[in-house]
Amino acid sequence: MSPLRRPSRLVALTAATAALALAASACASNSSSSSSSDAADASSTDLSSVTLKIGVTGWNDYEAALKVAGLDNTPYHVDWSVFSGGNLQLQALQSGALDVANSSEIPPVFAAAGGTVNFKVVAVQKANTLLQELVVGKGSAITTVAGLKGQKVGYVQNTTAQYFLDKLLVQAGLTWKDITPVALTPNEGVAALNSGSIAAFASYGNSIITAHAAGATTIGSGEQILSGNFPWEVSNSLLGDAGQQAALVDLFVRLDKAYAYIRDGHQQAYAQATATATDEPLSEALSQLNAGEAEQHTRFVPTNTAAIASEQSVSDVFTAISALPKPVSVSIFWTTDLDSALAKALKAAGEPTS
């Protein structure tokens, strides 16, 4: 990929946003619904009046990526909130505290199984599946998943950790009945592992980095188990607001461009931001970044049938192990409403759409 020049990048993004606003206005003019009319009015206003309340997990890597690429000067306001997991983001989205959440495939399934669904998946982020690990504490004699039989095993409930732990147990010839599962938050799990009150911990991201810093070792990984699909969810109210839709599509394209910019010779700056936020050595942050992007380029794509099918298979696993109160058909919370606008905006910015 050739070096990116910031002026041309911003022009492309601005053009994409303008095109989306015009498209939203044109679509609304052909619709008789009141919600479409409201969306048309919103899309025709200056985006400086638009705010997006967005959740992130672990640390604000998205904002860091935008700053490294010089794309953080959005014509709308973004109110970022940091959570310890996508499951907590979905809770905040369901309660109205967020407009936008991003998670793995698992939290939306549990949110849908729990009652009323007032959110929709509007896009998919493709990303690596590294730092999704089952670890044992420093000095542990356990070296395999099979060695966990009869042991207390911590995991982050309703997340990728619960999913890949189930798969690892099956691969080792074990079931949940062969261990004593303990649902913990990422921070609680690291503390419990360090104190020896659990034998192993299944988690992700910062908690795995912290556990390794304390001497933990990996005995299992979700790297080859997880799909690398990370849905982005929005509130139903956002789908009735064309201004917020235009801002969100613009943000997706900015993030897509930002990660492309980072891959194109700017890894050091992003790794430094990561190291500062996670308290890990710069060399490790850089190594993780390069390994992750080598496995799967971070990018954004419209919703697609393959991604829906992948999440349905995840939902079916949780149903099979009786983790859900009822079976969930994931198609109920996926929508194609932003697909056309996102595809056009990515294409206008010179980014791939699939």
168 and 103 together in one domain: no
At 45, the pLDDT band (50, 70, 90 cuts) reads low
- Specify if 334 maps to a domain: yes
121 and 240 together in one domain: yes
**pLDDT of 13 higher than 60:** no
113 and 144 together in one domain: no
- Three-state DSSP class for residue 61: helix
104 and 155 together in one domain: no
63 and 114 together in one domain: yes
- Specify if 353 maps to a domain: no
At 6, the pLDDT band (50, 70, 90 cuts) reads very low
Amino acid, res. 311: E
pLDDT 10s digits, 74-91: 999 999 999 988 999 999
pLDDT 10s digits, 110-158: 999 988 899 999 999 999 999 999 999 999 999 999 999 999 999 999 8
143 and 276 together in one domain: no
- Specify if 59 maps to a domain: yes
Mean pLDDT of the chain, nearest integer: 88
Query: Can you tell me which residue has the tokens 């009319």?
Result: 37
- Specify if 354 maps to a domain: no
Query: Can you tell me which residue has the tokens 């556990």?
Result: 211
17 and 100 together in one domain: yes
The structural domain count of the chain equals 2
Closest CA to 126 of 334, 299, 305: 299
Amino acid, res. 245: Q
pLDDT 10s digits, 315-349: 999 999 899 999 999 999 999 999 999 999 999 99
Non-local CB neighbours of 115 within 8 Å, separated by 6+ positions: none
214 and 141 together in one domain: yes
Q: Could you tell me the residue range of the domain that residue 295 belongs to?
A: 6-129+227-348
35 and 78 together in one domain: yes
273 CB-contact burial (10 Å; exposed 0-12 / middle 13-18 / buried 19+)? buried
Non-local CB neighbours of 11 within 8 Å, separated by 6+ positions: none
296 and 205 together in one domain: no
| pTM reported for the whole predicted model | 0.80
117 and 239 together in one domain: yes
Which CATH number does the domain housing residue 141 bear? Answer: 3.40.190.10
15 and 95 together in one domain: yes
